[in-house]
C-alpha cells in the first residue's frame, strides 16, 4: 500500500493499493488518480512522488525486481 493525502479541506491521509490504479492525470496543480473501479481520487502528492511510492512498494513486496 502507498500513503497518499486527499486534496481538500480535510487533507486526510489514506493508503491505496497501487495495483488498483488505472491512470494518474495531472492538470496544473491538480492530480487525479483514476482507479480500475472507475472511481477518481484527487490527491495532494505530485505525479513523481506517487511514481516513487509505487516503485518502492513493488520493490518491498518483491514484484518487478528489475524496476529502478
Q: Which residues contact 21 (CB under 8 A, 6 or more apart)?
A: 33, 34, 35, 36, 54
pLDDT, position 16:
98
**All three cell numbers of 11:** 487533507
What is the per-residue pLDDT for 30?
94
Cβ(19)–Cβ(28) under 8 Å?
A: no
- The predicted pLDDT at position 47 comes to 97
pTM equals: 0.86
Query: What's the pLDDT at 29?
Result: 87
Give the domain ranges of the chain.
2-61
Residues (pLDDT < 70) of the chain are 64-68
pLDDT given at position 59: 87
Predicted confidence at residue 57, as pLDDT, reads 92
Amino acid at each position: 500500500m502507498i500513503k497518499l493525502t486527499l486534496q481538500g479541506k480535510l487533507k486526510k491521509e489514506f493508503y491505496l493499493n497501487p495495483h488498483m490504479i488505472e491512470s494518474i492525470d495531472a492538470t496544473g496543480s491538480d492530480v487525479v488518480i483514476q482507479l480500475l473501479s472507475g472511481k477518481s481520487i484527487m490527491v495532494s502528492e505530485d505525479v513523481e512522488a506517487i511514481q516513487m511510492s509505487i516503485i518502492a512498494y513493488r520493490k518491498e513486496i518483491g514484484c518487478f525486481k528489475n524496476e529502478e
